[in-house]
């Protein structure tokens, strides 16, 4: 698996590349972070990417949007958006026009809910477990996982902002292996893309700890490749 930690357009191009290259329907699972620490304009950017993903869907493609909340087990049920593009063609592709209109409305409704109920914590681990269950319950389909977050897990048990094991990038992998053993999610997804969002919490983090956090996630998800964060954000807080 390959890690890309960069601006959202890169993640989107990876996902769209799968759609173009694969003759069969594909599945995209998107995890947008709606925690209170994420800057509002970054939340706007997340949901704009959700709309782009929906607009790019071809017949039979799936898009599953699972919000990263403060407690995935309690907060997520009832708030997972499952979009499946129609497979049978209608005259003038009217079915796809109707599908995209409905998808846009449902994504807008999720965005309104997210902005009205921002989570005070960030449960990425739990959201990964939910994503894993979603994929296991569905047919085997090439799947892309896109995680939009500042990647500062803070679920009440684990807090990467202050975790002593993340004082350096060198120590982070050992801690990640320890955490992975306790997670229910196997993250058996072939293509994973991580989109780093700017947040109030990340602004207060030292560069060394942020590098350690990146190293942690790379090992946790067993990804290969460069883990360089976006150094040129599209907007300022």
On whether the 5-220 domain is CATH 3.40.50, my answer is yes
pLDDT at residue number 233: 37
Query: pLDDT category, 192, cuts 50, 70, 90?
Result: confident
Contact 2, 119 (CB under 8 A): no
Q: What is the pLDDT of residue 13?
A: 52
Residue 50 tokens, joined: 């959700």
Beta bridge partners of 49: none
Q: Are 110 and 65 in contact (CB under 8 A)?
A: yes
pLDDT value of residue 155? 94
Q: State pTM to two decimals.
A: 0.82
pLDDT of 185 strictly over 70: no
Cα 50 to Cα 39, 164, 183, distances in angstroms: 17, 35, 27
Phi, psi of 146 (to 5 degrees): -120, 120
Per-position b or e across 42-68, b if 16+ CB within 10 A of its CB? bbebbbebbeebbebbeeebbbbbbbb
pLDDT digits (tens, 9 = 90+) for 125-149: 999 999 988 888 877 788 899 999 9
- Does pLDDT of 57 surpass 80? yes
**pLDDT level of residue 228 (50, 70, 90 thresholds):** very low
Q: What pLDDT, on the 0 to 100 scale, is given for residue 91?
A: 75
Local structure of 68: helix, strand or coil: strand
Q: Please report which confidence band the pLDDT of residue 191 belongs to, taking 50, 70 and 90 as the band edges.
A: confident
Reduced to 3 states, what is the DSSP secondary structure of residue 154? strand
- Contacts for 129 with CB less than 8 Å, ≥ 6 apart: 72, 183, 184, 185
| Mean pLDDT within 174-202 | 82
127 within 8 A of 72, measured Cβ to Cβ: yes
Average pLDDT of the chain is 83
């Amino acid at each position: 698996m390959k890690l890309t930690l960069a601006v959202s357009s890169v993640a989107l191009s990876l996902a769209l590349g799968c759609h173009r290259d694969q003759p069969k329907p594909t599945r995209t699972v998107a995890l947008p972070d709606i925690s209170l620490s994420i800057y509002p304009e970054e939340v706007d950017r997340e949901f704009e990417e959700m709309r782009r993903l929906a607009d790019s869907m071809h017949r039979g493609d799936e898009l599953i949007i699972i919000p990263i909340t403060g407690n995935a087990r309690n907060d997520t049920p009832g708030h997972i958006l499952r979009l499946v593009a129609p497979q049978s063609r209608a005259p003038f592709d009217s079915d796809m026009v109707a599908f995209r209109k409905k998808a846009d409305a449902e994504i807008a409704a999720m965005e309104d809910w997210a902005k009205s109920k921002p989570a005070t914590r960030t449960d990425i681990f739990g959201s990964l477990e939910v994503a894993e269950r979603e994929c296991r319950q569905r047919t085997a389909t090439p799947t892309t996982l896109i995680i939009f977050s500042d990647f500062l897990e803070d679920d009440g048990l684990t807090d990467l902002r202050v975790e002593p094991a993340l004082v350096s990038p060198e120590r982070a992998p050992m801690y990640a292996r320890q955490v992975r053993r306790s997670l229910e999610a196997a993250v058996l997804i072939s293509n994973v893309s991580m989109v780093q969002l700017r947040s109030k919490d990340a602004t207060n983090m030292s560069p060394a700890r942020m590098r350690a956090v990146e190293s942690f996630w790379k090992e946790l998800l067993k990804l290969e490749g460069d883990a360089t964060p976006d150094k040129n954000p599209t907007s300022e807080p």
